[in-house]
Amino acid sequence: MGSFQSLPFDHHYRTLSKKTGFSLEQIGILHNRFKQLSLNEETLRRDDFNKVQDLKDNPIRSQIVEAFFDRRNFQKDGVGSMEEIGFEEFLTVMSYFRAPALHTTEEQREEIRRAKLRFLFNMHDTDNDGTITLEEYRHVVEELLSRSGSLGKETAKGIADAAMLEVASISVGHMAPDEFYEGITFEDFLKILKELEIETRMNIRFLNMDTTVLCK
Amino acid sequence: MPYVFYLRAIHFLMLCEILSLGYGANVGMLPKATGTSSSNLPQWSPKGDAHPDSGASTLPLFTLNYPRVQIPLEITLWVLLASFAKIGFHVYHKITVWVPESCLLISIGLIVGGIMHSVHEEPPAVLTSNMFFLYMLPLIVLDSGYFMPTRPFFENFGTVLWFAVVGTLWNSIGIGISLFAICQIEAFGVQDINLQENLLFASIISAVEPVAVLTVFEDISIHEQLYIVVFGECLFNDAVTVVLYNLFNHVAELHVVEAGDVFLGIARFFVVGLGGMLFGLLFGFVAAFTTRFTGKVREIEPLIIFLYSYLAYLIAELVAISSIMAIVTCALTMKYYVEENVSQRSCTTIRHVIKMVGSVSETLIFFFLGVVTITTDHEWNWGYILFSLLFTLLWRGLGILVLTQIINPFRTIPFNFKDQFGLAFCGLRGAVSFALAYTLPDSIGPKKLFITGTIVIIIFTVFIQGITIRPLLKLMNVRKTNRNLETINVEIHKRLMEHTVAGIEDLCGQWSHYYWKDKFMKFNNRFIRKILIRDNRPESSIVALYKKLELQNTMEILDSMTGDISATPSLISLHEERKNASKSRKVLPSDVRNMHELLSKNMYKIRQRTVSYTNKHSLPNDVTAKEILIRRHTSLRRSLRAGSFHSPHGNKASQKFLSLPVNSRLPPGRFSHAGDGDNEPEMNLSSVSSMFRHPQRSSSRTTIPLRPLGSLKVVSSSVKVVDEENEKQRGYRSSHLRSSFTSSAQQSSRSLYGSTRNISDEDGGSEHEEQESPPDPHAWVQDPQNNSDMQHPLLRRSQWPPQKPQDE
C-alpha cells in the first residue's frame, strides 16, 4: 500500500504535517494505524489501546496509554485528560518521538529536547502539580520493576527514595535542616537528565513504508 | 632501588637467553615448536650426553641435559623476559602515559634483537604459522571478545560490522590495486609482483590493532561510540583479514584466476563469516548449558569455558571457516549465561586467565617483532615500501570518510569530522599483521619484501601514530564521554524512556531496534534462560544493576584499601559497635541518603564498566573487586580503613552528592515517606538476616538478588545514628556528610559482606542487633572523603580503637 492520499484529506494532512513535522506519507500510514486501532471510528479510547498485544508486556503501559489522553501533551496549558482522542492528538503525541533532522541548530535541538523531556515528565507527574513527588516516583519505579517478579515494595521504595535524594542533591545542593524537598520540578528533571542524549535516543524512525499489515 | 634490581634481572635474563640459544645452536638446529623437536628426543639418556662413552663406571655428579628441556625452557625464558619488560614499563609510570606499551615492547625487542645479532644468533624459530594460528591468535582474540562490552556493542552492531567488513575490504582492495599500479612503473623494479600477491600484501597490512589506541581512548575518556567502534572494528577486522589472507594465499598460488573464482571467493567469504558466527553461537550455548550442571564441580568451570572456546576455534579451523568469528561469538554468548551459572571464584579465574594469556600472547608477538626486525635479512625497496605506507594511510582515511558518510544517516548519533579523524588516525597496525606476514608460505616470491614492508608500516604506525595520538586527540577535543552524571535517576529514566519508545513503537506498529531488543529479551527470559541458567530468576535489569552495584561498591571499597590491619581490632570493634549502637531508629532521610550514596556510587561504577573494560593491559575494575568477596578477613580489615574508595576509580561523582546537608532532620511529615520509615527497618530485618546468611553459603551470585536491597535499609538506619552523633559532636556539616556518606556506603557494603561473613552472631541475629549491625560506623564516619580536614584517624589504624568511645 503505497501512498494513498485522497484529495479531501490532503489539505488536512498538510496542516498536520506543518504542525507536527511528519511527512505526508508518514501521516498517511499513521492514519491507517489509527483507524486500525480505533476500528475505523473517528476517535480512540483507552480500551482501544488494549488491543495491541505487545503493549501488554510493557511495564509502564498504563502511563503510556495515559499519555495519549493527557491534555498537557496537546497544548501548552492543557489540564486534565480527555476521554477520547482524535487523529490529530494521536499524531501530536507521536510527534514527540520524531527524530530531529540532521541539520538542526543548537536552539532547535534544545527545544526538541525540552519537548521530549516534558513529555516524559508529564508521564510521571500524574497530579499535574508541576513536580514529581516521591509518591509518584515510587509508583513509577514500582511499575518499572513490576515485571521482575519477586521484588518487594520496599525495594522499589528504596530505589525511588535514593533516586529522589540524588535529584535533591543535584538540584538543591546544600539544604538547610528545615528544608525539605518537594519533588522534582521540571527544571530539576532537565538538570538530572542533562547527559542523557534524549534527542537522539528517544526516537522512532517513522518509516515511510506501511507496515501496519505486518503487525497486529 | 627496585629499578636497579630490575635492570640486573633483565641483564641476567638476557644473558640466559643468549646462552641458551647458543647452546641450543651448538646442539643442533633450533627446533621448531611443532615440528622437529623429535630430533632432540633420541638423546634421551638419563645421564645426558655429557659422557656418552664413559660406560657405566662412574655416576656423574652433575649432568646437563639441555636438549630435553630446550623448547619449554626457551619459551619460558622468552615469556619471562617479556613479562619483565612489562613490569619494567611501569616503574616509571609516566612512560606508559606517553608511549604506548606496544612501542616499548617493540623497543625492548629491538634491543634484544640487536644483542642477538651482534653475537650472530638466530631468533628462536618459535613463531611458526601453526604456533601463531593455533596458539597465540585464539588467545588474543578470546581476550578481546570476552571483554567486549556487550551492550554498547550491540547497539552499534551495524556500524561495527560495516566498518570492519566493508572497511577492511575497501582497504585491502584499494591498497592492493594501487600497489599493483605502482608495480607497473618500471622505476621501482618490482614488476614481478603480480596482482594476487599485491592483494595478499594489502590484506596483511589492513589488519588494524587496537591495543595502544584503546588505552589512550580510555585515558582521555573518549566518547563511548568511538571507543566501541574502534574496538569492534578491530576485532572483526581480524576475522576478515584472516579470511582474506587465506583467500588470497590460495589464489596467489593459482596461476590463473578466472572470473568464476572471484565469485566463488566472494561467496566463500560470506560462508566463512556467517558460518563462523553460527559455530560460535552453537558452542556458546553448549558451554552455557554445560555450566548449568557444574554446581558440584566448581573447579573445572574455568576449564570448561576455555575448552569450549578453543574447541570452537579449532573446529572452525577444521572446516576452514572463520575461526576468529567463531571464538568471538562463542565468548560473547557464553559470557552472559556462564557468568550467572558459575561461582564468583570461577568467574574471576576465567577473567584473570583470559586476560593473562591474551596479554602474554600479544606481548610475545610484539616482542618478536622487535627481535625479528634486526635479525632477519631484509629486502628493501624504497619505492614499494614507501608507497605502501602512503597508501595505507591514504586508503584508511578515505575509507573512513566514505563509509561514515554512508552510514551516518542510519545512526542515531552521527559521527562528526573529529570523530572521523580520530577513527582514521587510530588505525594502527600491529601484532596480527606481523604474524600474518611472518608466516607467509615460502612459495610467495616477494616474501621478504613483504615482511620488511609490514614491519616498516607497523613500526611507523605504532611509534609515530601511537605516540602522537594522545596529544592530538586532546588537542582536537574529540567528544568525550561524560561519566559524571550517570546516576540512578538516569538509569531509571533511560529505562523508562526505552519502555516508552518500545510501547509507542508497538502502538504504531513499527519495528525498530528497541522492538527487537524487547523481543529478544522476552525470548531470552522465557526460553533461553530457563534452559541455560541454573537458578533462573527473572530479574529486572534495574534490580540486577542495583545488585551489581552493591557488589561493586563493596568490592571497590574493600579493594582500594591496602594494608594489613590485623583482624582482631576490627572484629572486636565490630562487636562492640554493634552492641553500643543501640539508638533509636530515626528518620529515613539519612538512610535514604546513604542508600542513595551507595547507589549513586554503584551506578556510577556500573556505567564505568564499559570504559573500564577498555584497558587492554589490565583487568576490569569489578573483577578485582569481586575477589574481595572471597577474602573474608582481608575484606574486613580493609573495610575498616575506609580509605580512598573514590579517586582510584574515578569516583568523582560521589563528591557531588556529598554536599547534601546533614539533613537527618528532614521533617518526617513532609518528606512523605518518613512516616512509614520507622516500619521499614523492621520489615527488612528478616530479609536482611536471611540475606546475611546467604552470602556465606552460596557462592552463586544469583542467590543474592533481593537481599542486599533490604539490607541497605538496615545499614542506613544505623548510619544515621552515627550521623546525628557526629553532628552533635562536631557541627561540622559538610565534611561530616562526606564522611558519613563514605562511611555509610562503606558500612553498608561491609555489612553486606564483612559482617555477614565474620560476625557469627548476625546469623539469625536479634533484630535489634541486626539493626545496628553495620560495622563500626564511626570508623568510617571519621574518614573524610577528600582527605582534607578532619582529624580522622580512620586512615591510621592505630586510632582505630579510640574511635569506640565516641559511640555514646
Q: Mean pLDDT of all residues in chain B?
A: 64
Confidence category of residue B673, pLDDT binned at 50, 70, 90: very low
Distance CA B460, CA B378 (A): 16
Q: In this structure, which amino acid lies at residue B498?
A: E
For A137, the enclosing helix (H) or strand (E) is helix A134-145
Highest mean pLDDT among B323-332, B479-488, B517-526, B783-792: B323-332
Q: Measured between CB atoms, does A205 come within 8 Å of chain B?
A: yes
Give pLDDT, residue A107: 79
Q: Is residue B117 pLDDT above 50, yes or no?
A: yes
Q: Does A162 contact chain B (CB < 8 Å)?
A: yes
Q: What is the DSSP string of A5-46?
A: --HHHHHHHHHHHHHH---HHHHHHHHHHHHHHHTT-S-EEH
C-alpha–C-alpha distance, residues B226 and B212, integer Å: 15
Give yes or no for residue B547 having a pLDDT over 70: no
Better-predicted residue by pLDDT, B147 or B132? B147
Per-residue pLDDT at A5:
47
> What per-residue confidence (pLDDT) applies to A112?
79
Better-predicted residue by pLDDT, A69 or B546: A69
Residue B198 pLDDT greater than 70, yes or no: yes
Strand partners, A184: A132
Is the pLDDT score of B381 beyond 70? Answer: yes
A115 touches chain B (CB under 8 A): no
Whether residue A157 and residue B543 make contact (CB cut-off 8 A), yes or no, is no
Q: Do A52 and B706 touch (CB under 8 A)?
A: no
State the smallest CA–CA distance between residue A89 and chain B in angstroms: 14
The per-residue pLDDT for B56 is 56
Neighboring chain B residues of A196 at a CB cutoff of 8 Å: 490, 493-494, 497
Residue B552: what pLDDT?
60
- Pairs of residues, one from chain A and one from chain B, whose beta carbons lie less than 8 Å apart: 230
pLDDT band at B565 (very low <50, low <70, confident <90, very high): very low
Taking the Cβ of residue A13 and every Cβ of chain B, the question of whether any pair is shorter than 8 Å is answered with no
* Residue B275 reports pLDDT greater than 80: yes
pLDDT at B419 over 50: yes
Partner A, chain B 475-534, Cβ-Cβ below 8 Å: 482, 484-490, 492-497, 499-512, 515, 518, 522
Highest mean predicted confidence (pLDDT) among B330-334, B437-441, B521-525, B771-775: B330-334
pTM (two decimals): 0.60
Share of chain B above pLDDT 90, in %: 0
Q: How many CB atoms lie within 10 A of CB B45?
A: 13
Report the gap between the CA of B719 and the closest CA in chain A (Å). Answer: 15
Write down the number of H helices and E strands in chain B: 38, 0
Cβ atoms B652, B484 nearer than 8 A: yes
pLDDT tier at B310 (50, 70, 90 boundaries)?
very high
Secondary structure, 3-state, B610-662? HHHCCCCCCCCHHHHHHHHHHCHHHHHHHHHHCCCCCHHHCCCHHHHHCCCCC
CA neighbor of B288 nearest in space, from B548, B527, B534: B534
User: Residue B444: its pLDDT value, please?
Assistant: 74
Q: Which residue has better confidence, B5 or B769?
A: B5
**Mean pLDDT, to the nearest integer, of B365-378?**
77
B window 677-696, beta carbon within 8 A of A: 680, 683-684, 687
- Residue A45 near residue A90, CB atoms below 8 Å: no
Are B505 and A204 in contact (CB < 8 Å)? yes
ipTM score here? 0.83
The pLDDT assigned to B322 comes to 81
Average pLDDT, rounded, for chain A: 70
Mean pLDDT of B256-275: 77
Q: Return the biggest CA–CA distance within chain B.
A: 100
Q: Which amino acid is at A130?
A: G
> Poorest-confidence range of A125-134, A164-173, B54-63?
A164-173
CA B53 to chain centre: 56
Bridge partners for A45 per DSSP: A84
- CA B242 vs. chain centroid, Å, equals 23
| Mean pLDDT, rounded, for B691-720 | 37
B541 band by pLDDT with thresholds 50, 70 and 90 = low
A-chain CB neighbours of B655 within 8 Å are none
Asked which of A134-138, B3-7, B101-105, B691-695 is least confident by mean pLDDT, the reply is B691-695
How many other CB atoms are there within 10 angstroms of residue B798's CB atom? 9
Residue B487 confidence (pLDDT) above 70: no
Cα–Cα distance measured from residue B26 to residue B6, given in angstroms and rounded to the nearest whole number:
30
Q: What is the pLDDT of residues B148-184, one digit of tens each?
A: 877 778 778 888 888 888 888 888 888 888 888 888 8
Best mutation site among B411, B481, B504 for testing chain A: the one with the most A CBs within 10 Å?
B504
The model's confidence at residue B608, banded by pLDDT at 50, 70 and 90, is very low
Q: Which set of grid coordinates corresponds to residue B731? A: 557541627
Mean pLDDT along residues A126-138: 76
Candidate from A36, A134, A177 with C-beta closest to B661: A177
Residue B145 CB burial class (10 angstroms; 0-12, 13-18, ≥19): buried
**Exposure on the CB side of residue B617, measured as CA atoms within 13 A:** 20
Q: Which pairs from A140-146 meet CB under 8 Å and 24+ separation? A: A140/A60, A140/A63, A140/B492, A140/B496, A141/B492, A141/B542, A143/A59, A143/A60, A143/A62, A143/A63, A144/A59, A144/A60, A144/B492, A144/B495, A144/B496, A144/B499, A144/B540, A144/B542, A145/A59, A145/B540, A145/B542, A145/B543, A146/A59
Average pLDDT over residues A29-50: 77
Q: What share of chain A is helix, strand, coil (3-state, %, to 5)?
A: 55, 5, 40
Please tell me the predicted confidence (pLDDT) of residue B583. Answer: 33
**In this model, does residue A52 exceed pLDDT 60?**
yes
Helix H or strand E segment including A196: none
